[in-house]
């Protein structure tokens, strides 16, 4: 039994540390995934008001969850506070198993984001993983007497403190700058136009379309190839999913640049030759009060005759900020874009892309704009 507990202890501990750190390099990614759950539950009518409130605190929950995962994993490896650690492990595994079972059986969320965007798993894989870890959690809780501390309590406390502070430091760094490892479709070297296309091996969803008609107060459902005669009155059309497709969504979806008049200029911008820059602004209000590096970049781009575009979910606010930013060159071109697509393209409040045609050459967070020169 001691050998079994030791194997389960180190396997679970290392997996928890890995899971926490792989999400810790992009905590906003986990926050957006949490918002998917909150929105799904709110739309289903489950404690709608509370879910809408929790949605606003998703980033804080993300930081806490990532830190807790690393804390539990490190505690298992070190043998720190065995009772507290094993109870926390069981609580987390019950929670994770609930989430992954919801993803698998409801079909309302495509993935749980257990290992972030860098290690995508299918719902079946994540649910199986969590069932195994749940068994390990129960075993470790019941047989925790076999968990031997690796050092004295004072040393363990110090190592745990260093681990927690290091995890928090990592998260706050990447939230200000950019993820240390970019696993998103907008990473350097990617062709945005190609990734906006439907995958070549896509299998579309299969639907059946039926119609509801009524006659003499009775409603009846008919297939499209077996409609009733004119004595029946049409009520509505029903579309039923027969078989879910596979790989039938582009990696980059809803990422388009729209003018104030509603014209889509995405292809025109991304297909141009030469070097140009796209400033993607997600949240102006979250920037420091006197932040002006984006305006400096706009002026320098204008002076050096470098094409410079602004994309924002709030086009009106961006227009006000950048009107006259490019001195003696009139207002900058400002386009609107889907807010969800911007969340993927800009993991911080504002991101600058250096482009050549549809290829991403480089990108910087707002905190690193001072490094950019044209």
Phi/psi of residue 138, each to 5°? -65, -45
- Name the burial class of residue 193, with classes exposed (0-12), middle (13-18) and buried (19+) by CB atoms within 10 angstroms of its CB: middle
Q: What is the CATH number of domain 266-371?
A: 3.40.30.10
Q: Give me the pLDDT at residue 277, please.
A: 96
Region(s) of the chain under CATH 3.40.30.10: 266-371
Helix (H) or strand (E) holding 320: helix 315-322
| Nearest alpha carbon to residue 136 among 281, 6, 319 | 6
Q: Give me the pLDDT at residue 326, please.
A: 56
> Which residue bears the tokens 């749940």?
134
Q: For residue 117, give the 3-state DSSP assignment.
A: coil
**Average pLDDT, stretch 147-160?**
93
pLDDT at 6 over 60: yes
- Percentage of the chain with pLDDT > 70? 97
pLDDT at 44 over 90: no
Q: Give me the pLDDT at residue 225, please.
A: 84
Q: Give me the pLDDT at residue 230, please.
A: 87
**Range of weakest confidence among 73-82, 99-108, 148-157, 199-208:** 199-208
Q: Give me the pLDDT at residue 290, please.
A: 86
The whole-chain average pLDDT of the chain stands at: 88
Give me the residues paired with residue 208 across strands.
Answer: 240
pLDDT at 89 over 60: yes
| Nearest alpha carbon to residue 152 among 160, 142, 162 | 160
Phi-psi region of 357 (alpha: psi -120 to 50; beta: other; left: phi over 0): left
Could you tell me the two tokens for 165? 């502070």
The model's pTM is 0.82
| Nearest alpha carbon to residue 283 among 347, 228, 221, 358 | 347
């Amino acid at each position: 039994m001691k050998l079994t507990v030791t194997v389960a202890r180190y396997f679970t501990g290392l997996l928890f540390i890995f899971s926490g750190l792989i999400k810790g390099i992009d905590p906003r990614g986990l926050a957006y995934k949490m918002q998917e759950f909150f929105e799904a539950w709110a739309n289903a009518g489950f404690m709608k008001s509370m879910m809408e409130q929790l949605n606003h605190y998703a980033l804080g929950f993300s930081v806490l969850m990532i830190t807790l995962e690393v804390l539990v994993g490190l505690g298992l490896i070190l043998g720190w506070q065995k009772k507290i650690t094993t109870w926390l492990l069981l609580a987390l595994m019950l929670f994770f198993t609930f989430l992954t079972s919801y993803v698998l059986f409801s079909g309302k969320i495509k993935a749980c984001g257990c290992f972030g965007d860098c290690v995508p798993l299918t719902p079946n894989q994540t649910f199986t993983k969590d069932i195994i870890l749940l068994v390990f959690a129960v075993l470790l809780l019941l047989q925790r007497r076999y968990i031997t501390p690796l050092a004295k309590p004072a040393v363990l406390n110090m190592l745990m403190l260093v681990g927690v502070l290091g995890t928090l430091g990592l998260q706050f760094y990447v939230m200000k700058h950019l993820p240390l490892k970019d696993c998103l479709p907008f990473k350097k070297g990617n062709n945005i136009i190609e990734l906006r296309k439907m995958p070549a091996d896509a299998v579309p969803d299969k639907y059946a379309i039926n119609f509801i008609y009524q006659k003499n107060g009775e409603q009846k459902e008919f297939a499209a190839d077996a409609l009733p005669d004119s004595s029946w009155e049409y009520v509505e059309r029903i579309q039923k999913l027969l078989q879910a497709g596979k790989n039938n969504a582009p990696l980059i979806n809803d990422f388009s640049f729209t003018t104030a008049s509603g014209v889509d200029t995405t292809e025109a911008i991304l297909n141009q030759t030469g070097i140009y820059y796209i400033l993607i602004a997600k949240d102006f209000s979250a920037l420091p009060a006197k932040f002006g590096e984006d305006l400096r970049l706009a002026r320098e781009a204008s002076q050096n005759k470098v094409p410079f575009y602004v994309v924002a979910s709030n086009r009106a606010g961006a227009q006000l900020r950048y009107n006259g930013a490019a001195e003696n060159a009139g207002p900058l071109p400002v386009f609107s874009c889907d807010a969800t697509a911007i969340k993927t393209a800009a993991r911080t409040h504002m991101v600058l892309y250096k482009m050549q045609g549809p290829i991403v050459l480089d990108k910087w967070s707002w905190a690193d704009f001072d490094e950019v020169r044209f």
